[in-house]
């Protein structure tokens, strides 16, 4: 009996010597390293470049070995690093359920926000968010074995925000709050129609710089669908804040601005464009085409016009912007929607 107990103790001791853990905390520490220090950090944790590294996709893959340069057969761990658009990605794969469960608790204790209705043992995916970092926990069967993944996305923080299009960099409520401050970002409900509401975030509500962020994922308030810039925003909270004094002051790369007259927009676009008439459900909206300097597929424009709805020129499906300008109708930009 004593010999069996001694053997178990020695086996446990050997396991500690010949294997190393690499936790989600280490993954976060890795993401915080300057680029020149990443290799040193990851080699220090006994990772080496994987033989099946997929360089074609600009992914650098590492696999963990023990101090004697042997693969740990009890727990396999690997890390993938890559970049995409304005984000850096750090992905930890592990065969250890313990790594997975302990990782979840570590993120919760570190103040990451998540959907508390999710159950890590039942759900195949859970998203954790904090400042400009999001970490998605997933599990899958790979090569007949269960693999647990921590996919960390680190969004590059903008140096400055000058134009409304720069707001498209913020693809989550949490990232917005971390950059602009909690007092400047509010959760709200956006009216898609009179009866249909959707969760959104409003930046600088009730001011000349207000903008509405509409999310594709209402639970986690991320996956940006579009940003609305207007003086009159269709949200529940707008009923409390009222309409700001003066024009919305966000400027756009294209040169458009809120309240811009149709004639000025025609000159800016350097080409005629179509506006939906009264026979369309999208009356007074610019047809989403790219026919000039402004890409109306990426920037949606809605006009306002006093008494224009009864003008016979709009009694059709589409109207030439040039014809409207020739009729000297006072059309101005009312809503601007920009898409990622």
Q: How many Cβ atoms from other residues are within 10 Å of residue 293's Cβ?
A: 12
Do 88 and 79 form a contact (C-beta atoms < 8 A)? no
Alpha carbon dihedral 153, 156, 162, 165, in 10-degree steps, equals -30
pLDDT, tens digit, for every residue of 60-119?
A: 999 998 665 655 556 889 999 999 989 999 999 999 999 999 999 999 999 999 999 999
Q: What's the pTM?
A: 0.86
Strand pairing partners for 200? 188, 214
Helix (H) or strand (E) holding 338: strand 332-338
Tens-place pLDDT, residues 252-292:
999 999 999 999 999 999 999 999 999 999 999 999 999 89
pLDDT at position 17 is 40
Domain ranges in the chain? Answer: 2-155, 164-241, 262-338
- In sequence order, which residues have a C-beta less than 8 Å from that of residue 261 and are 6 or more positions away? 330, 331, 332
> Length of the chain, please?
340
pLDDT confidence of residue 320: 96
What is the rounded distance in angstroms from the CA atom of residue 91 to the CA atom of residue 78?
8
Closest listed residue to residue 229, CA positions, set 217, 241, 213: 213
Low-confidence residues of the chain: pLDDT under 70: 1-20, 51-57, 66-74
Nearest alpha carbon to residue 136 among 157, 122, 115:
115
């Amino acid at each position: 009996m004593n010999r069996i107990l001694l053997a178990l103790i020695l086996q446990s001791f050997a396991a500690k010597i010949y294997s190393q853990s690499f936790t989600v905390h280490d993954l976060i520490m890795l993401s915080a390293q300057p680029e020149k220090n990443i290799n040193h950090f990851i080699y220090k944790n006994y990772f080496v470049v994987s033989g099946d590294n997929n360089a074609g996709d600009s992914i650098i893959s590492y696999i963990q070995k023990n101090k004697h340069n042997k693969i740990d057969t009890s727990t396999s761990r690997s890390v993938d690093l890559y970049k995409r658009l304005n984000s850096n990605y750090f992905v930890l794969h592990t065969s250890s359920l313990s790594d997975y469960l302990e990782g979840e608790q570590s993120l919760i204790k570190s103040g990451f926000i998540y959907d508390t209705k999710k159950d890590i043992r039942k759900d195949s995916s859970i998203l954790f968010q904090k400042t400009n970092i999001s970490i998605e926990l997933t599990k899958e069967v790979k090569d007949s074995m269960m693999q647990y993944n921590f996919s960390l996305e680190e969004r590059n923080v903008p140096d400055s925000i000058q134009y409304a299009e720069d707001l498209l960099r913020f693809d989550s409520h949490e990232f917005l709050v971390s950059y602009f401050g909690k007092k400047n970002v509010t959760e709200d409900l956006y009216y898609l129609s009179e009866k249909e509401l959707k969760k959104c975030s409003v930046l600088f509500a009730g001011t000349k710089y207000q903008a509405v962020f509409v999310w594709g994922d209402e639970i986690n308030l991320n996956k940006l669908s579009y940003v609305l810039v207007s003086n009159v925003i269709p949200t529940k909270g707008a009923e409390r804040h009222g309409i700001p004094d003066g024009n919305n002051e966000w400027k756009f790369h294209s040169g458009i601005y809120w309240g811009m007259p149709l004639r000025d927009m025609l000159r800016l676009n350097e080409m005629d464009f179509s506006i939906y008439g009264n026979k369309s459900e999208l009356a007074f909206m610019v047809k989403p085409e790219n026919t000039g300097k402004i890409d109306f597929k990426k920037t949606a424009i809605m006009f306002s016009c006093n008494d224009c709805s009864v003008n016979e020129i709009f009694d059709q499906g589409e109207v030439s912007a040039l014809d409207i300008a020739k009729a000297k109708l006072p059309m101005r930009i009312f809503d601007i929607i920009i898409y990622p």
